[in-house]
Structure 1
């Protein structure tokens, strides 16, 4: 029920588009732009193509990050994130994390979910191509991302517990805790950077876990 309420709230934020043409994806937009497509085929054989265009790297809390929906190459609607665009047969849902998109899915009226297809020139599209061309390498990269995030999360929790138990009332109540791993500052920084890279890699595949990827932020 709460999920449906949030979806209705997101639908209410949708504003009409201005009809401008969708611009091609350029290579220099790799760090800043995400572009996904949804092709719908109707019973009479007619097809329409929806495109979701999002600029990354903006302040979500200020409402600056917007998703733009294009229909057959023309600006059809816009919404600040998280967005839910009504389309024939369902809704296109778009959500972003600190590292990129964590959701860009077509959700049918029956509840089935289908990820949209990334533009082949985008960072997400290039990552998808790697997965198709070299599935073994892709799986190892994905596994490495999870391992890096798990290590980062363990270190973060250990350090937080150690800091909290240094507070006198807490120390008197439950004692103190010393983290079993004491890394130098430079290595802590390296692990943090590794976690950012790992979460960014997962965002390119629309993978998100509130504990792993949320902890990295």
Structure 2
């Protein structure tokens, strides 16, 4: 069986590699407090050899994603910076070649679901979020209060699961009210009916829960369905 280091990349991986374009050399913009809800910034330090003086040299990569998309076309892109200089840009999902491996970035409608470094040997780990980013603040909570963090994560997952169970039957009922659909598959009556206030409360809870999961890069198709 081939090892991860010599296995041929999938067609999705090859497509993601071709999607990456050279960067324009701009410096990495500083992270401001007002970026917290709209900008994800992840960092990776990689050994880059030894200086002539025998001092280990480290290269720092940064992946910058504006969650609301670029101003010109609204497309969500990942930008790769090496030591503060933009070297590549790609639509998502993205795959950037770096020292010793690659950085893979993927997202769902609810937020990032992946920003990982994958070594040439196939090992992987998540990049470190910028400490002032929303992801960084969530990571700090987990580091300082792991039990509370796990409880919040479990609650968020339960809310998403319950939200899907509430939302899907109502959505199916709405769809089967369309005459063309009703003529083909018949109608469906949801066993769950909530008041307007109840639906608003569920929606708000789902927004909070899916956001919390996105901050931990735990988004899945359930979050998209719940949203």
| Correspondence for 1:49 among 44, 60, 65 | 60
Give matches, 1:1-217, under 5 Å.
4-42=10-48, 44=50, 45-58=56-69, 64-163=75-174, 167=182, 170-171=185-186, 178-210=189-221, 212-217=222-227
Matched residues, number: 210
Structure 1 residues 50 and 187, CA gap change in structure 2 (3 angstroms): same
| Comparing 111-120 and 15-24, the one that deviates more | 15-24
Deviations 1:100-124 (CA, angstroms, capped at 9, x unpaired): 2111011122222210000001010
> How far apart are residue 129 of structure 1 and its match?
0.3
Conserved in 2, the CA contact under 8 Å of 1:63 and 1:80? no
Distance 1:98 1:157 in 2: 17
Distance 1:126 1:208 in 2: 17
Deviations 1:12-50 (CA, angstroms, capped at 9, x unpaired): 111112222212211011111110001112565431110
Structure 2, unaligned stretches of length 5 or more?
1-6, 51-55
Distance 2:176 2:106 in 1: 36
Distance 2:224 2:8 in 1: 21
Distance 2:89 2:214 in 1: 22
Structure 1, unaligned stretches of length 5 or more?
none
> How far apart are residue 165 of structure 1 and its match?
6.5
Conserved in 1, the CA contact under 8 Å of 2:77 and 2:90? yes
Normalising by structure 1, we get a TM-score of 0.87
Structure 1 residues 3 and 198, CA gap change in structure 2 (3 angstroms): farther
